[in-house]
Amino acid sequence: MALAETVRTPQLYLQGLSRWRPIEIAFWLATLLPYWLAPDYLSLASQIAITALFALSLDLILGYAGIVSLGHAAFFGIGAYTAGLLSKYGWGEPLTGLAAAAFTAAIVGYATSFIIARFRHLALIMLTMGFGLLLGELANSAGWLTGGVDGLQGIHTWNLLGYFHFDLYGYTAYGYSLAVLFLLFLGARRLIHSPFGLALRGIRENWTRMPAIGAASRTHIQMIYTISAALAGIAGALLSETTQTVSLDSLSFERSAELLVMLVLGGAGRLYGGLVGAAIFMVARDQFSGIEPQYWYFWIGVLLVVVVVFMPNGVLGGLAKLYARWRGR
Amino acid sequence: MTPALSTRGLAKSFGSLIVARDIELSLPQGARYALIGPNGAGKTTLINLMTGMLAPNAGQIFLGEDDITALEPQERVRRGLARTFQINTLFPGLNALEAVTLAVAERRGIAQQFWQNVATYKETIEEAHDILVKLRLGDSCYQTTRELPYGRQRLLEIALALATKPKVLLLDEPAAGVPPEESGDIFEAVASLSGDLTLLFIEHDMHVVFRFASHIIVLVGGGIYAEGSPAEIAANPGVREVYLGTRKHG
Amino acid sequence: MLPPVFGVLFDGFAYGMLLFLLSVGQSVTLGMMNFINLAHCAFAMLGGYVTVTLANRYGWPFFATLPAAFIATALTSVVFERLLYRRLYRATDLDQVLLTIGITFISVAVAAYIFTTQQQPLQLPQYLRGSIEILGLRLAIYRLVLIALSLIITGVLVAALDYTRFGAQVRAAVDNERMARGIGIDVDRTFAITFALGSGLAGLGGALAIEIVGLDPSFAFTYLVYVLIVVAVGGLGSIGGSFAAAAVLGISDIAGKYYVPQLGAFLIYLVMISLLMWRPAGLFGRR
């Protein structure tokens, strides 16, 4: 151990755990590259940013609090439909649309959190799946509101900040999505390094020990679940605003399951895992979009098996291990 | 004076299996009580009942004057009743400092604060660090829990419980599984605990029991078989009989 | 003359029996080792495809394909258990979910590749077609046979569980795994055998399902949801619970589709959520 270690105080040590690493700064600078390197792909880039935000929201409950949810798309869909309906009925201002979506998704999240916080293991997985499926069925039946299978029509997003127009090329869309992602990421990062973040990790690391140290785990879970729902809702709203469509698959089980795959691929519990996983997954899907759906699912299946057996902490976990080995620890 | 912890008629059964029968115990403040008994006697079950991890079929539990029978486990901890686990129940991925800081933060009620970096909570961190230093864990406090040697992990178990500033501490075999060279550390730590703290510890090693306990409770088949001073218990022929079949190490 | 509601009840019960066969294995293995196997219905699907291949390509009589479906699926599950599942008994829920979903994706893709995504045709033998009339109700012979077969299998399972030594080991392992190991029961072996039997039953269920709900690669996911509902509602590790839950679910689903088609699957999900909230360990579960 280096000599400097013996001089550090506990406070400084904890502070050191949360400082910005150069690779993080490089990562965020790299997100600006598409404007120069791949200007034809800005629409895809904005989709990736949106999905990354969605994955981040799942990471907060899965990677940090240990809640396995197979129904997180419910909040994504609620956000998407909220913003979409607002726009359809005359109010297409994007930022307030985000706020409305966050608010609605948060309320539903808060309400369901009372139930979610009381269960673990299979019952929890089933409940999250059940809620997602239930909402999907509701959305399907309420065609008069949601547009049913055809999706919501008549969305028109106003100019961002009164100036930036949402064009077909995605310049505004990408900048908008990326900015929202970055700001919310900063918030999530602060949260993770706060006492609350420590409590969440405690829940994930040992559910049984938490009450024994006087922790009200249920309240913690309710809080993070609500926050996560709000973030997922914002991601959904971003989708509806930038693509000016909303359809039933924004709430589907497939979307929830795919999100889980992306997060696990990147590595849960590292904040960046969802972002990396979303990027890899969606670029791959775009590149292989020509092939038959069943081949796509075959490779996803293989990927899942490989990740679980050989790389349980995802890409980032694997990289972290390699890095540690390289540094000769 | 009101006992620090007492139970009245505490009973628990699983179908026809009775794990606690009509337990009446009373720990005066500052007590150093040992709970002994053969395997399967129900010692850990009793701790689980007292801490709220298991709901009794009958009976009451009092912390001081307050009836805590209906309270949830975390509420009991907040009122001052803490315990350690026989099998390490720690946070494997957190380092020791983080773990104890978390416990202190929960006690101070700041664990829901999500905007400030945990490093800015100076007093909380210092308190956590002090506890670790007192238990001779100061130099390994930056190590991840799962990397700590087993003996240090057992000490961390105690640190987590102490972080809640308990009035009553229930220790479930604090030195279980620890090699003899290291168990001395643990008992020194226990011995150094404040005289205001009321202690009840489950232990199998009779040397330890006779060294640290001022009063011994013998649990057999879910019920209190005998209790008294170490001398009384040592002289009790029934106790020796009950232990003859199960004592493997002296 | 019985009113048509009895016809609906009959069909619903038959469907429930099918769900029972598909779910009972999952319920017992989950109850024993807490291992979440979402590939369970992929095994069922395998049984279906074995039957179809043997009957259509090799001309086997229908009843002969059923034990083949059972055995083929049981053997396949043993292979998976040895190679992959064994490593994950102590893993997190998430890892188990992901691994088994991955296996399901792979099997769906393989099935689509070999058999295409079309529904598989199946010719039932003459004596199983048609229906008989009882008290004014037309009851399909196939469904009657399905119910009879399921009841026989249930009886055999319950008898085996209560009267054989292996059954006692299974019950002990489900009740308290640690204790069971402590008294010398080879829980891993018990689990492996139970798992094989459960998967075999699922395969049999898949074979029998062809005539009722058809067979195509999406079977593995569509019925997974129903199986999970039966298992969660019925209670882990409980044969009786699975039976009851499957019957209720089967009848509710058929009745729902018959009387209130616009509600769709909404009702089933609502019932499941409500039941789970009331009894998180299932109606008859222990954990």
Least confident interval from A296-310, B129-143, C172-186, C249-263: C172-186
**Bridge partners, residue C133, by sequence:** C138
> By the 8 A CB rule, do A183 and B76 touch?
no
Rounded to a whole number of angstroms, the distance between the first and last alpha carbons of chain C is 45
Query: Are both B95 and B76 inside the same structural domain?
Result: no
ipTM for the predicted complex comes to 0.89
Nearest to B111 among A12, A195, A208 (CB): A195
Q: What per-residue confidence (pLDDT) applies to B85?
A: 93
DSSP designation for C91:
S
DSSP labels for C98-157?
Answer: HHHHHHHHHHHHHHHHHH-SSPPP----GGGSSEEEETTEEEEHHHHHHHHHHHHHHHHH
Sequence-distant (6+) residues with CB within 8 A of C219 are: C41, C44, C45, C48, C206, C209, C213
Q: Average pLDDT of chain C? A: 85
Query: In 3D, which of C98, A281, C66, A304 has the Cα closest to residue A289?
Result: A281
Query: Are both B128 and B15 inside the same structural domain?
Result: no
Please indicate whether, in this complex, the C-beta atoms of B122 and A11 are within 8 angstroms of each other: yes
Query: Are both B22 and B130 inside the same structural domain?
Result: no
B44 is a domain residue: yes
The residue among C5 and B48 whose pLDDT is bigger is B48
Asked if A211 reaches chain B (Cβ–Cβ under 8 Å), the answer is yes
Query: In 3D, which of B194, B127, B163, C140 has the Cα closest to residue A10?
Result: B127
CB pairs below 8 Å between A and B: how many?
Answer: 136
How far B207 CA lies from chain A's nearest CA (Å)? 29
CA distances from C221 to A36, A264, C122 (A): 43, 20, 21
Q: What per-residue confidence (pLDDT) applies to A181?
A: 97
CA distances from B134 to B165, B200, C171 (A): 14, 20, 49
Round to whole Å and give the CA distance between C93 and A121: 7
Please indicate whether, in this complex, the C-beta atoms of C280 and A126 are within 8 angstroms of each other: no
Please indicate whether, in this complex, the C-beta atoms of B160 and A209 are within 8 angstroms of each other: yes
Query: Are both B194 and B150 inside the same structural domain?
Result: no
Asked if B12 reaches chain A (Cβ–Cβ under 8 Å), the answer is no
Ranges A215-224, C27-36, C234-243, most confident: A215-224
Nearest to C99 among A122, A138, A304 (CB): A304
Query: Are both B155 and B172 inside the same structural domain?
Result: no
**CA dihedral of A236, A242, A244, A249, whole degrees rounded to 10:** -40
Please indicate whether, in this complex, the C-beta atoms of A212 and B141 are within 8 angstroms of each other: no
How far C142 CA lies from chain A's nearest CA (Å)? 32
DSSP designation for A207:
T
Q: What per-residue confidence (pLDDT) applies to C282?
A: 67
Round to whole Å and give the CA distance between B201 and B10: 19
Please indicate whether, in this complex, the C-beta atoms of C94 and A62 are within 8 angstroms of each other: yes
The residue among B11 and C3 whose pLDDT is bigger is B11
Query: Are both B161 and B175 inside the same structural domain?
Result: no
How far A275 CA lies from chain B's nearest CA (Å)? 22
Round to whole Å and give the CA distance between B200 and B187: 13
Please indicate whether, in this complex, the C-beta atoms of C93 and A118 are within 8 angstroms of each other: no
Residues 273-312 (A) with a CB less than 8 A from some CB of C:
294-295, 297-298, 300-305, 307-309, 312
Query: In 3D, which of A10, A42, A44, A64 has the Cα closest to residue A285?
Result: A44
C188 is a domain residue: yes
Asked if C79 reaches chain A (Cβ–Cβ under 8 Å), the answer is no
SS3 A246: strand
Q: Which residues of A touch C256 (CB under 8 A)?
A: none
Sequence-distant (6+) residues with CB within 8 A of A208 are: B89
> By the 8 A CB rule, do C101 and A303 touch?
no
Tell how strand B215-220 and strand B66-67 pair up. unpaired
Confidence band of C45 (pLDDT split at 50, 70, 90): very high
Confidence band of C281 (pLDDT split at 50, 70, 90): low
Residue ranges in chain A whose pLDDT is less than 50: 1-6
Q: Which residues of B touch A208 (CB under 8 A)?
A: 89
Asked if A209 reaches chain B (Cβ–Cβ under 8 Å), the answer is yes
What is the number of structural domains in chain C? 1
Please indicate whether, in this complex, the C-beta atoms of A141 and C104 are within 8 angstroms of each other: no
Q: What per-residue confidence (pLDDT) applies to A4?
A: 45
How far B195 CA lies from chain A's nearest CA (Å)? 22
Q: What per-residue confidence (pLDDT) applies to A111?
A: 93
The residue among A73 and C25 whose pLDDT is bigger is A73
Domain that holds residue C130: 5-220
CB-based touch A/C (3+ pairs, under 8 A): yes
Nearest CA in chain B to A218: B74
- Among the candidates B165, B191, B220, a domain finishes at B165
Q: With pLDDT > 90 as the criterion, what percentage of chain C qualifies? A: 23
Domain that holds residue B125: 90-165
Ranges A229-233, C17-21, C158-162, C281-285, most confident: A229-233
Residue ranges in chain B whose pLDDT is less than 70: 243-250
Round to whole Å and give the CA distance between A75 and A82: 10
Nearest to C266 among A138, A294, A295 (CB): A138
Q: Which residues of A touch C109 (CB under 8 A)?
A: 294-295, 297-298, 301
Nearest to C262 among A129, A141, A305 (CB): A141
B117 is a domain residue: yes
The position carrying tokens 């009245």 is B8
Q: What per-residue confidence (pLDDT) applies to A8?
A: 67
Query: Are both B38 and B2 inside the same structural domain?
Result: yes
Give the residue extent of every domain in chain A: 39-250
Least confident interval from B15-19, B193-197, C11-15, C278-282: C278-282
